[in-house]
Amino acid sequence: MLDTQAIALSLTLAFWTLVLLIPFGIWVAHRLADAGPLKSWAEAALALPLVLPPTVLGYYFIVVFAGKSLFGEPLVFSFTGLLIASLIVNLPFAIQPIQRAFEAIPPEIKEAAKVSGLNTWQRFRLIELPLAWRGILSGAAMTFAHTLGEFGVVLMVGGAIPGETKTASIAIYDKVQTFDTAGAGSLSLILLIISLIAIAVSYGVFGKPQTGSQRA
């Protein structure tokens, strides 16, 4: 039988991760796109979730979250804790594509916006953001797909409480453990399709990127 509760929980987690992480990711990526003295260190720190084993991350989350609560909810073995862990684990997936998109905007385009009389916010809103939209879309798709598929950190921080922390990837693991191959298969297929669509979006299946002044 299809575990719709687990799918709904995964989608809810992915949705909130997106909603909270993408605006923050845009801000951080925009700052990082302009070279600063600590840029390399900041980039390295943000990329850590890519190279650290999920168990290491999970361990530190448990150490930090233990005994703490937010809005009256404990952080360990709760959806809130899972969401915070998801936000941190997904930082590189959200920020890196957006940062690359901001970096790809030719400097003279930004300067032209400046000498056209636009202030900092107007330059960001009217010029840089529209030119970086593909990177933002890519960051969002990667974040969404990665949240759906995250297993190790979710298991360590959240456990497998149905309706609270048992996401689709945990449910698949449980079903395999209990020899429910049909249930595991249908859940896997759904995750596969959703992830494929998300990754296709990030690879630009739905249109060509457009930055810089091109000649006719």
Partner 1 sequence: MLKLYIQQTVPNPLAIKLEVDDGEIHALVGPSGSGKTSVLRSIAGLHHPEIGHIECANRVWLNRDSARGPRVAQDASLRSCGFLFQQYALFPHLSALENVRIALHNNGESRAEQIQCARDWLAQLNIAELANRLPRQISGGQQQRVALARALARSPKILLLDEPFSAIDIPTRQTLYQTLAELRKRLHIPIILVTHDLREAHLLADRITVIDQGVGLQTANANDLFAKPRNARVAQLVGIPNLFQGVFNAGRLQWGSSPWAFQITDKGKIPPQSQVAWVIPQAGLSVHSTSQDGRIPCRVKHISALGQIAVIEFVIEAIAETLTWEASAAEVRRLGLEQAALVHLEFNCDLIHIMPLRPINDPRRFMSAADAAP
Comparing CB distances to partner 1, the nearer of 23 and 130 is 130
Please tell me whether residue 101 binds partner 1 under the rule CB under 8 A.
no
Q: Are 196 and 184 in contact (CB under 8 A)?
A: no
How many residues of this chain bind partner 1 (CB under 8 A)? 24
Q: Residue 69's beta-bridge partner residues?
A: 74
Q: Which of 15, 10, 17 is nearest to 148 (CA)?
A: 10
Among 44, 53, 108, 204, binds partner 1 (CB under 8 A): 108
Report the C-alpha gap between 97 and 25 in whole angstroms. 10
Give the nearer residue to partner 1 in terms of CB position, either 133 or 173.
133
Our finding on whether 176 is near partner 1 (CB under 8 A) is no
Q: How far is residue 140's CA from residue 201's CA, in Å, rounded to a whole number?
A: 9
Which one of residues 21, 87, 89, 131 is an interface residue with partner 1 (CB under 8 A)? Answer: 131
State in angstroms the smallest separation of the CB of 208 from partner 1: 11
From the list 13-21, 57-65, 182-190, 206-214, the region that binds partner 1 by CB under 8 A is: 206-214
- Identified binder of partner 1 from the candidate list 67, 115, 177, 206, rule CB under 8 A: 115
Residues whose CB is less than 8 angstroms from the CB of residue 125 and which lie 6 or more positions away in sequence, other chains included: none
Q: Applying CB under 8 A, which of residues 5, 186, 195, 211 lies at the interface with partner 1?
A: 211
Q: Residue 121 corresponds to which amino acid?
A: W
Query: Cβ 122 to partner 1, closest distance in Å?
Result: 6
204 near partner 1, judged by CB under 8 A: no
Written as one string, the DSSP assignment of 192-207 is: HHHHHHHHHHHTTTTS
Q: Compare residues 40 and 210 and give the one whose CB is closer to partner 1.
A: 210
What sign does the dihedral 152-158-160-165 (CA atoms) show?
negative
- What are the start-end ranges of the E strands in the chain? 69-70, 73-74
Q: Is residue 161 near partner 1 by the rule CB under 8 A?
A: no
Residues of this chain that bind partner 1 (CB under 8 A): 106, 108-109, 111-119, 122, 126-127, 130-131, 210-216
